[in-house]
Amino acid sequence: MPFDHDSLEILDRALKKLDAGFSQLPEFSPASAGAERMREVLVTLAEKLQDNYPYFHPLYAGQMLKPPHPVARLAYSLAMYINPNNHALDGGRATSELEKEAVAEIAAMFGWKEFLGHLCGGGTMANLEALWVAGQIHPMKIVLASDQAHYTHQRISGVLQLPFEKVECDSHGRMDMNALAKRAARGDVGTVVATLGTTATGSLDPLPEILALREKFGFRVHVDAAYGGYFALASNLAENAARSFASVGKADSIVIDPHKHGLQPYGCGCVVFRDPGVGRLYKHDSPYTYFSSAELHLGEISLECSRPGAVAAALWATQKLLPLARAGEFAKGLERGREAALRFFGAVNSGHKFIPAFAPELDILVFVPTGDSLREISAKSRQIFEAAARRGLHLALAELPVKFWRGMQEDGERTTVTCLRSVLMKPEHLEWVGRIVELLESCSRD
Ligand SMILES: *Cc1c(COP(=O)(O)O)cnc(C)c1O
């Protein structure tokens, strides 16, 4: 059985405790469709859900998918019996408190005690909010992000009607500092987005250098660490990554996605601002929702209105069980994925059939099969992707700049190559990396 069934008993226990808190209410029976019909529908649903890749299994090493921790699943389910709304204290008293605690722990991971922040639907919403604030502070000024930054920044800038430009990356997928310095010197840059952990390759923009340019040019620095943020806790990073994380607290705003590496179900992003004063930008004069207390309602500092309190319950419970501490169990899980990626890199690099782009900065490896032309390499990547899937090994494909591979030549108009990409997010990947390499090698014999 791949799924954990035992913990359902814990949910039953906790639900009884929750019941006890409402025992003084007059008896009533909530409307129900009847167990028999619900069972039928759910069994049909289970059948439909079988149509998925096995994201939870170590042989799924493709896209950024990591199963939520059982405690997150249980906490979410438990909170669903209340279904609190963290928009305002009226709708989610307990879970608003849990959200504030959990977000404070995330901010503390970056060294912040005073800050303003909250959970969002995901990294896209969190980045939207960060750029919305940036745009109010530097109206009409340019937003810069690297050409490997998540495409959402360009789209968000469009929504916010802020001018957006890309800065070229170097051969390691990091923002090129000469290109940034040159562009910033024109004086019209309002915000630079530094990605700590690009979505394609897990590369980190050199944050200390970006911050040094901020001193000179006065732009805001927003760190998009939606994917990589939790690696701030890892102790097995190489120099560029360790330096960038060491200075992350100097950024103006940070985005991190608990639903990527934080063991949460989808619907959990987080944005934090270094200056709590940005709260003034959210001011509105809604005549309703906020009458229960003088205390801060999360809806007063977020663009989204209704938000699930269950998300906060799940995150809080996970961080209680696995505190965000260096050398703690959670940090060790991240370190294992990174170690798996380093071993994978070593194995791919020492064989003759594949060529990795560069040593992974986090836990993502990109590599190509050998071949004589970009066309042949790209076609082989696709064949191997399919052959691997037939063997139960699920990788991903990516279209990346040729310059990520030393010695690989651009071919006329063609500046990118289709490559294989593997995200080793699960701690269990460390035990499975040998098997993953074997399966991969057997694919190239097809
Ligand atoms: C995933 C990701 C996003 C988008 O976040 P969602 O949670 O998918 O909305 C933004 N930036 C980076 C670097 C990401 O990896």
Give the pLDDT confidence of 198-220 residue by residue, as tens digits.
999 999 999 999 999 999 999 99
Q: Does the beta carbon of 269 lie inside 6 Å of ligand 1?
A: yes
CA of 125, closest atom in ligand 1? 9
Same domain assignment for residues 363 and 391: yes
The two structure tokens encoding residue 435: 């098997």
Using DSSP, state whether 414 is helix, strand or coil: strand
Q: Among the three residues 321, 351, 370, which one is the final residue of a domain in this structure?
A: 321
> What is the pLDDT at residue 372?
94
Establish if 52 belongs to a structural domain.
no
Same domain assignment for residues 164 and 292: yes
Distance 265 CA to ligand 1 centre (A): 14
Distance 147 CA to ligand 1 centre (A): 15
Name every residue whose Cβ is closer than 8 Å to that of residue 187 and which is 6 or more positions away in sequence.
217
Same domain assignment for residues 288 and 431: no
Q: Does the beta carbon of 252 lie inside 6 Å of ligand 1?
A: no
Bridge partner residues of 222 (DSSP): 193, 253
With a cut of 90, say whether residue 126 has pLDDT above it: yes
Distance 200 CA to ligand 1 centre (A): 11
Cα–Cα distance, 193 to 204 (Å, whole number): 11
Q: Among the three residues 255, 288, 321, which one is the final residue of a domain in this structure?
A: 321
Query: DSSP label at 277?
Result: G
Q: What is the mean pLDDT of residues 100-123?
A: 97
Q: What is the mean pLDDT of residues 402-416?
A: 94
> What is the pLDDT at residue 82?
97
Same domain assignment for residues 372 and 240: no
Same domain assignment for residues 199 and 307: yes
The residue contributing the CA closest to ligand 1 atom 6 is 123
> What is the pLDDT at residue 213?
98
The enclosing domain of 414 has a CATH number of 3.90.1150.10
Q: Among the three residues 321, 351, 378, which one is the final residue of a domain in this structure?
A: 321
Distance 29 CA to ligand 1 centre (A): 43
Establish if 21 belongs to a structural domain.
no
With a cut of 80, say whether residue 294 has pLDDT above it: no
Establish if 395 belongs to a structural domain.
yes
Same domain assignment for residues 112 and 247: yes
| Amino acid (1-letter code) at residue 385 | F
Name every residue whose Cβ is closer than 8 Å to that of residue 345 and which is 6 or more positions away in sequence.
356, 359, 360, 365
CA of 257, closest atom in ligand 1? 7
Same domain assignment for residues 242 and 376: no
Q: Does the beta carbon of 224 lie inside 6 Å of ligand 1?
A: yes
With a cut of 60, say whether residue 287 has pLDDT above it: no
Q: Does the beta carbon of 312 lie inside 6 Å of ligand 1?
A: no
Same domain assignment for residues 310 and 335: no
Report in angstroms the alpha-carbon separations of 132 from 37, 143, 160. 46, 11, 7
CA of 127, closest atom in ligand 1? 10
Establish if 37 belongs to a structural domain.
no
The residue contributing the CA closest to ligand 1 atom 12 is 226
Q: Does the beta carbon of 264 lie inside 6 Å of ligand 1?
A: no
Contact 366, 400 (CB under 8 A): yes
**295: domain range?**
80-321
pTM for the whole structure: 0.97
Q: How many CB atoms lie within 10 A of CB 52?
A: 10
Q: Does the beta carbon of 58 lie inside 6 Å of ligand 1?
A: no
Establish if 214 belongs to a structural domain.
yes
Same domain assignment for residues 120 and 241: yes
> What is the pLDDT at residue 433?
98
Establish if 420 belongs to a structural domain.
yes
Establish if 25 belongs to a structural domain.
no
For 144-169, how does the pLDDT look when each residue is reduced to its tens digit (9 = 90+)?
Answer: 999 999 999 999 999 999 999 999 99
The enclosing domain of 106 has a CATH number of 3.40.640.10
Distance 280 CA to ligand 1 centre (A): 26
For 250-279, how does the pLDDT look when each residue is reduced to its tens digit (9 = 90+)?
Answer: 999 999 999 999 999 999 999 999 999 998
Same domain assignment for residues 130 and 222: yes
Cα–Cα distance, 359 to 361 (Å, whole number): 6
Distance 227 CA to ligand 1 centre (A): 6
Ligand 1 pocket, mutate which of 199, 248, 363 (most atoms under 8 A from CB): 199
Establish if 35 belongs to a structural domain.
no
Same domain assignment for residues 316 and 336: no
Average pLDDT, the chain: 95
Total of domains in the chain = 2
Same domain assignment for residues 346 and 298: no
With a cut of 90, say whether residue 31 has pLDDT above it: no
> What is the pLDDT at residue 171?
98
